[in-house]
Amino acid sequence: MRVKICESDVEFEAVADLLVNHLYHGRKKKACFNDLKEMRKQGWKLVAIFDESKKASVAASFYIGKRLYCGKYIQIENLAVVDNLRSEGLGKEVLNFVEEEGKKNHCDRIILDSYVENYDAHKFFFREEHYIRGYHFNKPLNGKPLGNKE
């Protein structure tokens, strides 16, 4: 398997570059990089597949936790694939890697959020046997609307 758990700043920078160019358009790379590093301190892991030039082709973050409604879970976030590499199985490869991590860690399920307007991602997750369980509500506490610019 080509999926690698990211450890170095160079890898985190490559993933931040992927995320700001293919998922969080308009977000500053430095802010994304800093947030990824902070997430790592909170227990999140970052995985990616890198091309021969060390650029991230696909990446995702995941976290293991426990909730009353679902038991022990692995949560995947920020799954992004370079636009021209979509439908080549890279997203599935990363999703399978995270699923195996969940199984190794005795998780009961994999959970994720997907923006309502992200229809292509919904089709992908339905194909991978995920289903919609509910709504994810949020309310800004800092006066800023939810967005991806920083």
Q: Which domains are delineated in the chain?
A: 4-127 (3.40.630.30)
- As a whole number of angstroms, the distance between CA 7 and CA 125 comes to 27
Backbone angles phi, psi at 5, to 5 degrees: -75, 125
Q: Where are the alpha helices (DSSP H) in 1-148?
A: 9-22, 29-41, 90-104, 119-127
pLDDT in tens, the chain (150 residues): 599 999 999 999 999 999 998 888 888 999 999 999 999 999 999 999 998 889 999 899 999 999 998 899 999 998 989 888 888 889 899 999 999 999 999 999 999 988 888 888 889 888 999 998 888 888 888 777 665 444
